[in-house]
Amino acid sequence: MTLQFNDETFREDYSFHNSQRAINRFPFPFDKDSYMYAVNMEQHRGGPADSVYEKRFDVDEHYVSEMRDRALVLADDPLRCQSLPHMTLAGWDLLELIMVSKSEDYPDLFQLHRNGDQWHWINKPLGIDDTFTFMDETTLPYGPMEYITRQAQGDFCVLDQRDDNLWMDAGTVTTQADWSLDFDIGMNFFEWHAPVPLAHEKGIFVRALKFLLNIQQGAPARRLNWTMTVNPLLDTSPENYHKWGVQKGTITPENIGAKQHLRVELQTFYRLPRSNALVFPIRCYLCAFQDIVTMPKWGRRLHRVIRDLPEELATYKGFIDNRPMMLDYLSKFDDGLPTSNGIWPEKDSEPPLQV
């Protein structure tokens, strides 16, 4: 199908919106009626047609506007994109991975022509047509990682692997769930996850690290993570928290369906061939509560998950104060009927809401 790109904003007037197609394919993160941390990794080898799992790097209707938002964030704060000196090779690896994947998966949108180290890259949605020498930084307007991540939705953390650990040594991070690349750069896997409650004690990070250290070329993995965001704000950074934090207080029973968004991260993990680094794309999908509850299964389940979530997690994810209002809203979409297993909405087989 031909993608129509939305002209929308993720700030100020927040004109972001999801089409019916985007709602249908929203990666609802709960596969059962409760939630607790789990490693929850699976192979990233495609998925149902038109789902966000289908392609290696999903391109959707928000692509052009998200890239415009990224450019605004980087203009305001260039430290959202950083690469320690030993990570340039990994940046080229990432550029290659994204260009090859996108040109193969979306040939109508992206083209890559390679003649030895002379590469010709065409990005039609963004109107980019560049010729450059692979592995020669002077032939690109930015470093390789910055160049390509200005053209790819989601944040990108490029992790060096040494001493049986992963190190956050490069990244482009403008759509983050409240963590700072500038602060965390150079940290190892346990250190940058240090503020996460409960998961260390459950051994989640030890198991996750073991899994990630063993990811092989050509065998990427994926998982979903989630949090809550008031207004469709991509840049929920700690840097700007003093500006956006106040928005959490603007929720009312009347506007919560439109303003409160479930924020889902599709996290994928790819081994990079030359550097042996691991790239960790974190793709953010936003969906307003009022759109989620149009899927009866999701409405029932979201109410149960939020209601039963441990207090530490609701606090860490930053919505403890708004939880009662969320539950008032969501309870109207939970009739107590059982839900089917798995994340898919099953719109044809789940019973409609009983009122």
Partner 1 sequence: MSKFQFPPSIISRPVYGTLEARAGKQHLMIADAEGAEALLDLAAPELMARSHIIFISRGTDYAERLKALSPQQFYEGPTYAASVSRIRRVLQDAHMGLQVYLAGTEGLMGQAQNEAMQAGIPHTAIQTEHRGSTARRMQCVHCKGITEDVAIDPFQCAHCGLNLFVRDHYSRRLAAYQGVCIDAEDPGNVPAAKGIYE
SS3 at position 73: helix
Least spacing, CB of residue 151 vs partner 1, in Å: 28
The Cα 154–Cα 156 span in angstroms is: 7
Amino acid at 132: F
- Per CB under 8 A, does 182 bind partner 1? yes
The Cα 176–Cα 77 span in angstroms is: 14
Nearest to 130 by CA among 105, 113, 108, 106: 113
The Cα 108–Cα 123 span in angstroms is: 10
| Interface stretch with partner 1, choices 98-106, 246-254, 278-286, 300-308 (CB under 8 A) | 246-254
The Cα 80–Cα 253 span in angstroms is: 35
Options 56, 80, 223, 301, the catalytic residue = 223
| Interface stretch with partner 1, choices 20-28, 104-112, 236-244, 275-283 (CB under 8 A) | 236-244
- Per CB under 8 A, does 78 bind partner 1? no
Sole binder of partner 1 in the list 100, 135, 187, 258 (CB under 8 A) = 187
Residues 316-355 that bind partner 1 (CB under 8 A): 321
Site string for partner 1, 249-268 (x = CB under 8 A): x-------------------
Structure tokens at 47: 């998925």
Paired residues of 261 in beta bridges: 229, 288
| Interface stretch with partner 1, choices 145-153, 218-226, 241-249, 253-261 (CB under 8 A) | 241-249
Size of the site for partner 1 (CB under 8 A): 27
Sole binder of partner 1 in the list 17, 21, 86, 248 (CB under 8 A) = 248
Sole binder of partner 1 in the list 141, 238, 310, 342 (CB under 8 A) = 238
Q: State phi, psi for 177 to the nearest 5 degrees.
A: -85, 70
The Cα 144–Cα 93 span in angstroms is: 9
Nearest to partner 1 of 153, 237 (CB atom):
237
Sole binder of partner 1 in the list 130, 190, 274, 327 (CB under 8 A) = 190
The Cα 269–Cα 278 span in angstroms is: 7
Distances (CA, A) of 134 to 85, 143, 172, 272, 333: 18, 12, 20, 16, 53
Neighbour tally for 315: CB within 10 Å? 14
Assess contact for 186 and 163: CB atoms under 8 A.
no
Sole binder of partner 1 in the list 66, 96, 146, 239 (CB under 8 A) = 239
Amino acid at 197: P
Amino acid at 111: Q
Nearest to partner 1 of 183, 308 (CB atom):
183
Nearest to partner 1 of 303, 323 (CB atom):
323
Nearest to partner 1 of 186, 273 (CB atom):
186
The angle subtended at Cα 262 by Cα 256 and Cα 268, nearest 5°, is 170
Residues 195-234 that bind partner 1 (CB under 8 A): 195, 200
Nearest to partner 1 of 240, 294 (CB atom):
240
Give, as one character, the DSSP assignment of residue 9: -
| Interface stretch with partner 1, choices 26-34, 56-64, 245-253, 302-310 (CB under 8 A) | 245-253
Sole binder of partner 1 in the list 15, 78, 183, 342 (CB under 8 A) = 183
Least spacing, CB of residue 190 vs partner 1, in Å: 5
Least spacing, CB of residue 242 vs partner 1, in Å: 4
Q: Is 263 assigned a catalytic role? A: no
Tokens 């930015």 correspond to what residue? 142
The Cα 28–Cα 54 span in angstroms is: 15
Nearest to partner 1 of 25, 261 (CB atom):
261
The Cα 234–Cα 10 span in angstroms is: 6
Binding stretches for partner 1 (CB under 8 A): 79, 180, 182-187, 190-195, 200, 238-246, 248-249, 321
**Active-site residue list:** 223
